[in-house]
Amino acid sequence: MFSVRCSMLKAALPINLALPPFVEAVLGSYFDGKWDKSFQNRIARDVAELSFLFTRGKLESLRGGHYMARKRFRDAYICYYLPANLLKTVFLLEKAWDSTNSWHEKKEFSILDAGCGPGTAGIGTAIFFQSKALEQGWKQFKLRIHSLDSSPEILKENFQLTRNFSHALQKGFPGLVVDQHLHHANLSEGWKALPPALRQNSLDALFFSNVLAEMGAEELPLRKTGENKNPASHEEQGNRGLVHFVHKALLPTGLAFFLEPAQRTYARRLLSLRDTFAEDSNFQILSPCPNILKCPALNLSEKDWCHDRIQWERPGFIASIDRLAGISKESLKFTHLMVSLGTPKENHGDLHRFVVVSEPMKGKGKFMIFLCGVEGRFRFELLKRDLSESNRGFCRLRRGDKIFLSGFTLKNEIKRLDQDSVVRLEL
């Protein structure tokens, strides 16, 4: 099973995720055991090329599933990106588990992995629920995976990889049943691209991984706004189309997950989508933001954006590819959005609840961190001389924590805590 290793003082240390030990074995078997130096050199060259395309704004050459049509790129993606993305999926599912009680007694679970690629979300969900089944003492669990992609080549790889990982998971939990259905379709067709059975609020979870980054706006499930003098932008139409898609497909207790690269362009695009969800009374923003209507990062500066960073135990084969490709994946960086359907809205006016949106910083005689709340994003600081029992938790915060904080004053656009301030982590 996967592991999350941290101390009882959860906020004091970064989460350290570790891949299940069978992942490398499954991948090695998938490639017929050809995990020799020659194979790694070839994979590293193709990973380096993919990394350049992903990080240098060259994604227009990858859209429409074209790069997945090339065997060498599929191999590189599966070897290098799939393992890390599995852990990102598990990380988000763990956050969801803590946010909702509706999943805790479910023995059947149905997901759609939209723009599925090699099957990251489906495999990650299977890993997560196998772990939960063992933890909860369940006898059986059925996972139904609907995988949608425009690339027939990657759908074939997806099917075989999901099958291989399922067999490995069943060795640890024989009661796991994985039922997979492949859908060759474009997201631009919207929810109508799905079989009729999936259009009627039938899914427990929806996953959109790197959809905004790897697909052009013309490929998103647009929703027309009608003829008028001020037609909605393509981005706004795409946002509305995605919200409509999610609303049509999810069960009343369902959740939708969006995961994008930790790059400013795509992070801000995701924040724009976040605001569209926040404006719809059917949805609640669960993570990573406070449940406010407008994201302050979009309005303060075009340079503002948010991302997640989690530590992981980098496997040896990933470290080898890093070394050969001249890149590094020592931590996992990404940006995400998690929304729920059918959950009552929280109070938008709570001035004491914040989300940590930066790494902690130390200055001369003080601790500093950026927090986002109802009034926007501000730098908060605590002087070492003002440390007390009630505010000591401020020094242990990490990016992504949700906290209750009371007692602070404004000092030249910086909010400063004092000895009477109260800092409490909301689990």
Q: What is the pLDDT of residue 17?
A: 84
Q: Is the pLDDT of residue 14 over 50?
A: no
Q: Is the pLDDT of residue 239 over 50?
A: yes
Angstrom distances, CA of residue 11 to CA of 8, 129, 271, 356, 393: 9, 25, 25, 11, 8
pLDDT tens for residues 182-218? Answer: 998 887 776 666 777 777 788 999 999 988 887 654 4
Domain 353-425 has CATH 2.40.50.1010: yes
∠ CA 248-126-253, nearest 5°, is 30
The Cα 308–Cα 303 span in angstroms is 16
Query: Which of 276, 280, 242, 271 lies closest to 355 in space, CA to CA?
Result: 271
Q: What is the amino acid identity at position 156?
A: K
The mean pLDDT of 218-236, rounded to a whole number, is: 56
Q: Burial of 98 by CB count in 10 Å (0-12 exposed, 13-18 middle, 19+ buried)? A: exposed
- How confident is the prediction for the chain on average, in pLDDT? 84
The Cα 273–Cα 206 span in angstroms is 15
The Cα 125–Cα 115 span in angstroms is 16
The Cα 166–Cα 50 span in angstroms is 28
Q: What is the pTM of this model?
A: 0.85
Element (H, E) at 273: helix 264-279
pLDDT tens for residues 352-373? Answer: 888 888 888 888 899 999 888 8
Q: What is the pLDDT of residue 421?
A: 93
- Which residues are within 8 A (CB) of 176 and not within 5 positions of it... i.e. 6 or more apart? 126, 129, 130, 133, 140, 141, 143, 166, 169, 170
Angstrom distances, CA of residue 421 to CA of 159, 241, 411: 54, 44, 15
| Helix, strand, coil percentages, rounded to 5, for the chain | 40, 25, 30
pLDDT tens for residues 250-287? Answer: 999 899 999 998 888 888 889 899 999 988 989 988 88
Q: At what angle do helices 152-172 and 120-136 cross, to 10 degrees?
A: 10
Angstrom distances, CA of residue 250 to CA of 93, 110, 196, 201, 219: 16, 10, 13, 4, 21
DSSP string, 296-346: HHHHH-TT----EEEEE---HHHHHHHHHHT---SEEEEEEEEEEES-PPP
Across the chain, which distance is largest between two alpha carbons, in Å?
64
Strands 366-373 and 376-383, bridge-based pairing:
antiparallel
- Supply the CATH classification number for the domain 3-341: 3.40.50.150
Q: Is the pLDDT of residue 9 over 50?
A: no
Q: Cβ distance 272 to 384 under 8 Å?
A: no
Query: Which of 32, 55, 412 lies closest to 210 in space, CA to CA?
Result: 55
Strands 353-356 and 331-341, bridge-based pairing:
unpaired
* Structure-block tokens of residue 261: 């690269």
* Structure-block tokens of residue 111: 């997901």
Q: What is the pLDDT of residue 411?
A: 76
The mean pLDDT of 51-73, rounded to a whole number, is: 72
The mean pLDDT of 400-414, rounded to a whole number, is: 84
Task: Name the residue with higher pLDDT: 133 or 53.
Answer: 133
Which region, left, alpha or beta, applies to residue 259 given φ > 0 means left and ψ of -120 to 50 means alpha?
beta
Q: What is the DSSP letter of 77?
A: I
Q: What is the pLDDT of residue 8?
A: 25
Q: What is the pLDDT of residue 351?
A: 75
Q: Is the pLDDT of residue 85 over 80?
A: yes
Choice among 46-50, 55-59, 193-197, 243-247 with the minimum mean pLDDT: 55-59
The Cα 336–Cα 50 span in angstroms is 21
Map out the domains of the chain as residue ranges: 3-341, 353-425
